[in-house]
Amino acid sequence: SIKKKNLGASMSTLQRLVEQLKLEAGMERIKVSQAAAELQQYCMQNGCNEALLVGVPARSNLFREPRSCALL
């Protein structure tokens, strides 16, 4: 019946949620100040290679606006 099918789907969703919560509960937590300091240090050390910080050269940017045809 439809109720059994919905109950099964609901149970499956809840089981996945429980598994996700178990994974998250087992993760090591750090203070925001420590995470911010580590992120700042990473940016200082790797900033010259990070496209989000220095941008992407126009020639290698796959998302740039296409040029129009010179013959038109």
pLDDT in tens, 4-46: 667 677 888 999 999 999 999 999 999 999 999 999 998 889 8
In-domain check, residue 60: no
The pair of three-digit structure tokens given for residue 67, joined into one six-digit string:
């040029």
- The reply to whether 46 falls in a domain is yes
Answer yes or no: is 32 within a domain: yes
Q: Could you give the number of structural domains in the chain?
A: 1
User: Is residue 53 helix, strand or coil?
Assistant: helix
Is the Cβ–Cβ distance between 10 and 3 less than 8 Å?
no
Answer yes or no: are the C-beta atoms of 57 and 64 closer than 8 Å.
no
User: Has residue 59 been placed in a domain?
Assistant: no
- Domain with 15, as residue range(s), is 2-54
In a domain, 62, yes or no: no
Report the CATH number at residue 45.
4.10.260.10
Predicted confidence band of residue 65 (pLDDT cuts 50, 70, 90): confident
Task: Read off the amino acid at residue 19.
Answer: E
